[in-house]
Amino acid sequence: MELTETAAHPSISFETSPDVYRHWRLEIQGEVARLVWDVKEGQPLRPGYVLKLNSYDLGVDIELHDAVQRLRFEHPEVRAVAIVSGKDRVFSAGANIHMLASSSHAFKVNFCKFTNETRLSIEEACARSGQRYLAACNGVTAGGGYELALACDEILLVDDGNSAVSLPEVPLLGVLPGTGGLTRLVDKRRVRRDHADIFCTTAEGVKGRRARDWGLVDDIAPKSRFEDLVRERLSRLAAGSPQKSGPGVVLPRLNARVGAADLAYSLLRVAIDRKNRTATLHLKGPEGPPPTDAAALRRQGSEAWMLRLFRELDDAICRLRFNEEEIGLWILNSEGDPDLVSAHDSALASFSPTDWFAREIILMAARTLRRLDITARSLFALVEPGSCFAGCLLEAALACDRSYALDDRGRPLSLGLTPLNFGALPMAHGMTRLETRFQSRPEALRALLERVQGGERPRFDAREAAEAGLVTVAADEIDYEDEVRVAVEERTSLSPDALTGMEASLRFPGAESMPTKIFARLSAWQNWIFQRPNATGDHGALKCYGKPSRPVFDWRRT
Amino acid sequence: MELTETAAHPSISFETSPDVYRHWRLEIQGEVARLVWDVKEGQPLRPGYVLKLNSYDLGVDIELHDAVQRLRFEHPEVRAVAIVSGKDRVFSAGANIHMLASSSHAFKVNFCKFTNETRLSIEEACARSGQRYLAACNGVTAGGGYELALACDEILLVDDGNSAVSLPEVPLLGVLPGTGGLTRLVDKRRVRRDHADIFCTTAEGVKGRRARDWGLVDDIAPKSRFEDLVRERLSRLAAGSPQKSGPGVVLPRLNARVGAADLAYSLLRVAIDRKNRTATLHLKGPEGPPPTDAAALRRQGSEAWMLRLFRELDDAICRLRFNEEEIGLWILNSEGDPDLVSAHDSALASFSPTDWFAREIILMAARTLRRLDITARSLFALVEPGSCFAGCLLEAALACDRSYALDDRGRPLSLGLTPLNFGALPMAHGMTRLETRFQSRPEALRALLERVQGGERPRFDAREAAEAGLVTVAADEIDYEDEVRVAVEERTSLSPDALTGMEASLRFPGAESMPTKIFARLSAWQNWIFQRPNATGDHGALKCYGKPSRPVFDWRRT
């Protein structure tokens, strides 16, 4: 990734590829891969800190995210991946403390969100893409380093009397492990909570047999046998994973054109209105019919409409989150033929049971929509004539806090349902956006599902969509513009923090899952702690770390 | 409740009774009751704000909590309760803003926690005690006023073209509704999330038919028919509730003796060590055998061991939370005969299927233990010879972050399991503490359950308890004292905020429920927002409320 300057401030890019990785090496060896991290101390994302001991910053994680994504698309032959360190006796010292201590609150929170999304993409690759991950902890495995290990299917630790896994954030820094560590300990690995309590308050961590007995790691081996153990476990993981056929699909760079107030891709254009602090995301539907079979889809490769669109949307979400902090309201609209969207959706849904590439495209779209769900920005959808909010694009509208449809009898619009609306694009808590929306009317949702299962692709004009509960407001051409203008003005006048908390609470009714616990619970606590003088005040633990002075705490408990 | 001065600061008491209520009247009319709130403007808990328009502070809520508790124990004949306003055209303006704006962060957070616990006790009375609640919203129902209504089984709103329900916190104050409102809207009442979004950002709220159509209230009636509607719905709720036999049990005052460094009850003594910032809670087991049948239990009334102990513990938890903010570690120990605890547990468990009083005692113990679970203090249990950590008292030890058992062969100790450990005292997320602890070994838990179901009361000495996973550490008499001392010193040296976030994350693995969403997710966001300059800074919305100046926001989203 590179830093490019805009008029306003340095802008972070999320595009990278293995040929330009600075901190990782991706080594493919038949059906197994090694993802080697060997972080370059002197190449932080921005000047001001040194990435010692495989500590990481956003730049390191952007490469990791890219590698996980490319393994899924470009290397379908890979069935197991070992994350290994390129450094002797050090797996990772975790997120770089000096980077955190010198970052703005908003950056810290978005950094944790992005790294959490990367860890979840690893877990999804294990669960859904037949690529199992193993962490080969050859030495110090601290903080975010251990949290990365926790995201893998298996954790192996060298037993050399010295190497420990640890989450030293609470005792050393006065903050929480910010990448899901606490939740994964007790929820994913089912470590007993009192053991977890001791582990998380012991700066030096836990090593050897105790680490295994407490379930902190899956196996241990002395240094002399560690490499054998890694190889053996990796082969076993690979053998248990499904095989996929055919060559991979290379993901070329998206090459967004970044202007002072816009961001342009081939199927997405983002227009930023700095005065009103809004961004409008124009999503383009497909221009032609879908491929007729999986082979034709494979020939389209990275140019397949849905893959291209959601890769662009994913990139735009990350850029807007980090580079446009003050743009508090994102307005989504779309342009195209809803019949074509529906046809593309239906085609991919029909290929996906037997074609890994179709499946990966849908999984990628689902990850992007989940990124949208947990973005700390208000989201409005404008559904207007000429739009194509069907299927996967309807999901983007359903992810919004509100939607406004223009009910112009002279220029009718059309929303549509496709098979992808009924399970393939789930939210982080496992429910579909329609299930979330129809909580109080499950029978109405069942009726819609039956129509789709019967081969129908139900369509709704503005009024019908409002009656069915698919849009928030349908307004006629006399009222629409005013209604939207007032709603936008009101929204952008409200406290950004209160909106963030409110949206996080209203967007995920019903079920909970490990990811929603991480994003909405653990992260909320961490956000709180990051604001507290005990962590980030002049005498706070995070600020004092590495300095001779000891932190000074306000002992009042809340 | 009264304010009593200690050497250090004014101390809040949580004891009250209907004869001295200032803000509520409890009117019993056969099988229905009316709980009338008519808040005295000039009687805030501390000077500095005026309780206009049925706005409330902790003093108002302590009385409400007391009334809900007394209705369960003292008025078993009551099957439905209407919360009605004593003021014309005003139900409630919500939590008092000036009180909030002038309170410390720790107080605000603990205030919200206590009011949330009171709302949950109303919902538990509806679900478990056959006392259904109805909110008769006769006028303005704003913020915390509407959140109280949300805790009731039914919400009725007068339809006078004017009266609205509202959650104006986000638009007016830049904070969240702090008493579970957001969660109850979408999780309990299943209000559609885009409707909830509009509702929560519209300061004036929603009235009349729209309030009913969106599910914000259950029914509406014009002013002329409102009283009839309330009466009719209340009768219907009463008719659907089970009848309970026999007279109620009066709850006398506990009359804690409050010293400068201790708090003494009949079955509980709290010793505060201000230098080390710890409090030791000594819990006393029963001195005699349990009552032989439900009639004998009824004769014991409020003196029944379990009721008395848990009432005292509940009172102590509340006092320590509010009055001893710097006391960061609570150490639990117990004294008594575990066989007697086991006998009392077994007796109550056997009476409870047919006796409401036994059931209410167990429910009360469960609520108190849940209050312990979500207390933002570190909790250690010390299991030593002479202790009686069996059954309901073992639950208190299991609620702790860690437990240390002294393994002294000369003076063996004994932990024990009773039927109450297997479902009657659930945590807020619905799982038992043993289920939470045995997540990774459900088969071991099943084996213990089978022994208890077979009539056995399994007992464990220190070593056996450690092996079974019931205590964290068993140490012999040579090591025990040092081990505990070091653990206490280390714990009390850590950042209080980081510990709060860590403990909230580790204590509730597994399932989630509406209450845990409220406490761990909604509250965490609120805590964060309360710290943000956009809310509580000099130009924050909460600070500017009611003043001529408009808030000034930092627009950066996180």
Q: What is the pLDDT of residue B245?
A: 86
Task: Using pLDDT thresholds of 50, 70 and 90, give the confidence band for residue A10.
Answer: low
- B328 contacts on A by Cβ (under 8 Å): 555, 557
DSSP B390: B
Residue tagged 């009101």 (tokens): A490
How far the first Cα of chain A sits from its last, in Å, is 41
Between the alpha carbon of residue A432 and those of residues A353, A422, B78, B399, the distances in Å are 19, 7, 42, 35
Across the interface, whether the CB atoms of B170 and A499 are under 8 A apart is answered: yes
- What is the pLDDT at residue A269? 98
Token pair recorded at residue A449: 């599902």
Contact check, Cβ <8 Å, B193/A105: no
In this complex, which of B197, B495, B555 lies closest to A541 when CB atoms are compared?
Answer: B495
The answer to whether the CB atoms of B170 and A498 lie below 8 A apart is yes
Across the interface, whether the CB atoms of B558 and A500 are under 8 A apart is answered: yes
Contact A556 B472 (CB under 8 A): no
Disruptive mutation site among A506, A542, A543 for chain B (greatest number of B CBs within 10 Å): A506
Radius of gyration of chain B (CA): 24
CB A249 within 8 A of CB A301: yes
Residue A514 backbone phi and psi in degrees, to 5: -60, -45
Q: What does the alpha-carbon distance between residue A423 and residue B255 come to, in Å, rounded to a whole number?
A: 58
How far from B12 is each of B1, B4, B110, B266, CA to CA, in Å?
8, 7, 12, 20
Does the structure show a pLDDT above 50 at A6? no
**So what's the pLDDT on residue A519?**
81
Bridge partners of residue A133, in order along the sequence: A81
With beta carbons less than 8 A apart as the criterion, state whether A207 and A164 touch: yes
pLDDT per position as a tens digit, A196-239? 999 999 999 999 999 999 999 999 999 999 999 999 999 999 99
Q: Check: CB of residue B279 under 8 Å from CB of residue B331.
A: yes
Q: Is B506 close to A200, i.e. CB distance below 8 A? A: yes
Phi, psi dihedrals of residue B514, rounded to the nearest 5°: -55, -45
- Residue A4 has what pLDDT? 39
Select the residue from B197, B544, B545 to test the A interface by mutation, using most A Cβ atoms within 10 A.
Answer: B197
Residue in chain A nearest B470 by alpha carbon: A194
Using DSSP, state whether B530 is helix, strand or coil. helix
| Chain A: closest CA distance from residue B321 (Å) | 8
Are B6 and B262 a contacting pair, CB within 8 Å? no
A496/chain B closest Cα distance in angstroms: 6
Q: A512 contacts in B (CB within 8 Å)?
A: 512, 517
**ipTM of the prediction greater than 0.95, yes or no:** no
Q: Please give the residue of chain B at the shortest CA–CA distance from A540.
A: B495
Of B400, B402, B528, the CB nearest to A198: B402
Q: Which residues of A touch B505 (CB under 8 A)?
A: 176, 182-183, 186, 521-522, 525
Distance from the Cα of B552 to chain A's closest Cα (Å) equals: 9
The mean per-residue pLDDT over the stretch A379-397 comes to 98
Alpha carbon dihedral B96, B97, B98, B99, in 10-degree steps, equals 50
Give the model's confidence band at A5: pLDDT under 50 very low, under 70 low, under 90 confident, else very high: very low
What per-residue confidence (pLDDT) applies to A507? 95
Q: What is the pLDDT of residue B10?
A: 66
Question: Does A439 sit within 8 Å of B192, measured CB to CB?
Answer: yes
Nearest CB to A170; choose among B200, B498, B507:
B498
Per-residue pLDDT of A246-277, as tens digits, reads 899 999 999 999 999 999 999 999 999 999 99
Residues lower than pLDDT 50 in chain B? 1-8
Sequence-distant (≥ 6) Cβ neighbours of residue B103 within 8 angstroms: B111
